[in-house]
Amino acid sequence: MTLGSVPPKFKVSIDRDQCMDCGRCIENCSYGVYRREGDKILIESRKCTGCLRCVAMCPRDAITLTEKPIDYRSHPLWTREVREDIIKQARSGKIILSGMGNARDLPVVYDHLLLDACQVTNPSIDPLREPMELRTYIGKKPSKLKFRKTESGDVELETKLAPNLKLNTPIMIGHMSFGAISLNSQLSMAKAVTELGTYMGTGEGGLHEALYPYQDHMIVQVASGRFGVNIDYLERGAAIEIKIGQGAKPGIGGHLPGEKVSEEVSKARMIPIGSDAISPAPHHDIYSIEDLVQLIRSLKEATEWKKPVFVKIAAVHNVAPIAAGIARSSADAVVIDGFRGGTGAAPKVFRDNVGIPIEVAISSVDQKLREQGVRNEISIIASGGIRSSADLAKSIALGADAVNIGTAALVALGCRVCGNCYRNLCPWGIATQRPELVSRLDPERGAVQVSNLIKGWTDELSELMGAAGINSIESLRGNRDRLRGYMLDEKMLNILDVLPAGV
């Protein structure tokens, strides 16, 4: 024990005057912070993750949580986090696992971009009184239309449209697998996207039977582990996504800890119960862009060219030329996941250090595709840290067709972003497979919450567009003229191709 214990992250206390001794905190905490001894509720603060389940469930607001009750001697370089990571590794000799997205306090580009509105010279449009069009089609579009004259002398369209997904709002829910999250979480989101006319991803976890009624609004995923993939699965999806990489952990494969592989998960994923599901870093049939092209074509052949195929990549330094390569294949959309993207489990060193911000990635991908004349060949779906309708509007103005949300949808289900998703103990019933925890999440109520969130953002997007004098989402897309940079350096402004505020 030469290392001893590190200071607890949280200090939990109960206001004993307020407490009615109902024991809800004990029942609700899956991490074992509370226990009853005699007539007293005892607290073991060290086990607390800050998930706030007890605070949310306490009927008397009797619980107080203090972050970092004991801190280390302050040091700008040897921060608390750095010291604790070293201590952890000195103990274990292992890679440090983490959950959720990048937790470093790095500047957020979205927060340095400002949107525009109309005054005098053009009228703003009131979405309560005028049409406002958010309908978005995801998929290949022709770069030009051809017409031909029929024998009777009429002109008719010669160009045939490729299959596109029709979204009523440019917000989709990204891929979070059954396994990483519970069936009730997936059900909540599936009901919501079906009601709203948008889509969600299955993740690399197969498609549970309970989701079949919503399959027309689900995008199935083919990732490097190929878990859950067979022809039935491919045919059920509205579209197919090939996952090459993920923003939280670019360059490495997926990891589902064995604790989370319950019987149901094992069936959907087609793996043994309790075994770690570790997807390889690369697809073992994709070692080059031409291999990817083959896989896309194979999936299209298998599904008779009826379904759009997306390719998801992490936003890495070279994201623009990679996306341009994908645009030249028969892929219909490229999903770009920025370095703030969430995850159920990722090595902390990847989560916090690898990749680039989504804002920059959208900008450079859109630019590159336009330079190469292939922007219409492919839709751009942006994800990785989209927190609000403002982030959404800014993403579209930078050039995205739509966004995927992940963490935001989970927060709508109750998630408090404690980052312990890999432990299978999620007290909110989201990132867990334990039946007693999963049952805490009611899919009917969950669906209402997720749908409320997307509706709220959609209305806000309409208002933002109306204020900018725009009544169709096409006119916001790539409209960087309606963005201004605030406190961004010149190089960054050039990369984003936006003017500074005041110009």
CB of 496 to another protein, least distance (A): 12
Strand pairing report for 200-201 and 171-175: parallel
Residue 98's Cβ-count burial label (10 Å; 0-12, 13-18, 19+) is buried
Site track for another protein across 147-186, x = CB under 8 A: x-------xxx-x-x--x----------------------
Nearer to another protein, 355 or 485 (CB): 485
Q: Nearest distance from residue 197's CB to another protein, in Å?
A: 12
Q: Min. distance of Cβ 126 from another protein in angstroms?
A: 11
Point out which span in 5-13, 61-69, 318-326, 365-373 binds another protein (CB under 8 A).
Answer: 365-373
Closest to another protein by CB, 130 or 276: 130
Window contacting another protein (CB under 8 A); options: 125-133, 272-280, 287-295, 340-348: 125-133
The three-state DSSP-derived secondary structure of 424-457 is CCCCCCCCCCCHHHHCCCCHHHHHHHHHHHHHHH
In this chain, which of 73, 91, 144, 491 binds another protein, going by CB under 8 A? 144
One-letter amino acid of 61: D
* Binding range to another protein, per CB under 8 A, among 38-46, 48-56, 60-68, 366-374: 366-374
d(CA 200, CA 130): 29
Could you tell me the CA-to-CA distances from 246 to 250, 333, 335 in Å, in that order?
5, 16, 10
Q: Check binding of 501 to another protein (CB under 8 A).
A: no
- Report the C-alpha gap between 442 and 420 in whole angstroms: 21
Gap between the terminal Cα atoms of the chain? 62
* Residue 274: both structure tokens together: 């309790």
User: Which residue among 63, 109, 125, 193 contacts another protein (CB under 8 A)?
Assistant: 125
Tell me the closest approach of the beta carbon of residue 370 to another protein, in angstroms. Answer: 4
Q: Select the span of 7-15, 142-150, 245-253, 408-416 touching another protein (CB under 8 A).
A: 142-150
The answer to whether 191 touches 210, Cβ cutoff 8 Å, is no
Minimum CB distance to another protein smaller for 58 or for 468: 468
415: left (phi over 0), alpha (psi -120 to 50) or beta: beta
Residue 479 binds to another protein (criterion: CB under 8 A): yes
Q: Do 137 and 166 contact (CB within 8 A), yes or no?
A: yes
Burial of 286 (0-12, 13-18, 19+ CB in 10 A): middle
CB of 482 to another protein, least distance (A): 6
Stretch that binds another protein, among 130-138, 225-233, 251-259, 408-416 (CB under 8 A): 130-138
At 492, which helix (H) or strand (E)? helix 490-496
Strands 402-405 and 379-383: parallel
Looking at beta carbons only, is 109 or 167 nearer to another protein? 167
**Is 478 among the residues that bind another protein (CB under 8 A)?**
yes
Shortest approach of another protein to residue 120 CB, angstroms? Answer: 8
- 126 near another protein, judged by CB under 8 A: no
Binding residue for another protein (CB under 8 A) from 5, 74, 121, 288?
Answer: 121
Within 393-412, the residues that bind another protein by CB under 8 A are 397, 399
The region of 68-76, 184-192, 340-348, 465-473 touching another protein under the rule CB under 8 A is: 465-473
372 burial (CB, 10 Å; 0-12 / 13-18 / 19+) is: middle
**Burial status of residue 304 (CB atoms within 10 A of its CB: 0-12, 13-18, 19 or more):** exposed
Residue 477 DSSP class: T
For another protein, the closer of residues 138 and 181 by Cβ is 138
Subset of 312-331 contacting another protein (CB under 8 A) = none
Q: Which of 415, 496, 361, 413 is nearest to 101 (CA)?
A: 415
Coil vs helix vs strand at 371: helix
At residue 371, what are phi and psi to the nearest 5 degrees?
-55, -35
Which of 45, 294, 388, 471 is in the footprint of another protein by CB under 8 A? 471
Identified binder of another protein from the candidate list 266, 294, 449, 475, rule CB under 8 A:
475
Pairwise CA distance, residues 426 & 231, whole Å: 33
Among 373, 435, 456, 500, binds another protein (CB under 8 A): 373
Single-letter residue type at 53 = R
Interface segment toward another protein; rule CB under 8 A; list 94-102, 128-136, 407-415, 416-424: 128-136
318 vs 472, beta carbon nearer another protein: 472
- Are 241 and 223 in contact by the 8 Å Cβ rule? The answer is no
Q: What are phi and psi of 221, to 5 degrees?
A: -120, 135
Stretch that binds another protein, among 46-54, 100-108, 117-125, 262-270 (CB under 8 A): 117-125
Of 135 and 317, nearer to another protein (C-beta) is: 135
Q: Which of 6, 118, 448, 493 binds another protein (CB under 8 A)?
A: 118
Q: Does 370 bind another protein (CB under 8 A)?
A: yes
Residue 452: CB minimum distance to another protein, A: 24
Residue 371 in contact with another protein, rule: CB under 8 A: yes
List CB contacts of 323: < 8 A, sequence separation 6 or more: 313, 334, 336, 365, 368, 369, 378, 380
* Closest C-alpha among 450, 476, 411 to residue 172: 450
460 touching another protein, by CB under 8 A: no
Q: Which residues make up the interface to another protein (CB under 8 A)?
A: 118, 121-123, 125, 130-131, 133, 135, 137, 141-145, 147, 155-157, 159, 161, 164, 366, 370-371, 373, 375-376, 397, 399, 468-472, 474-482
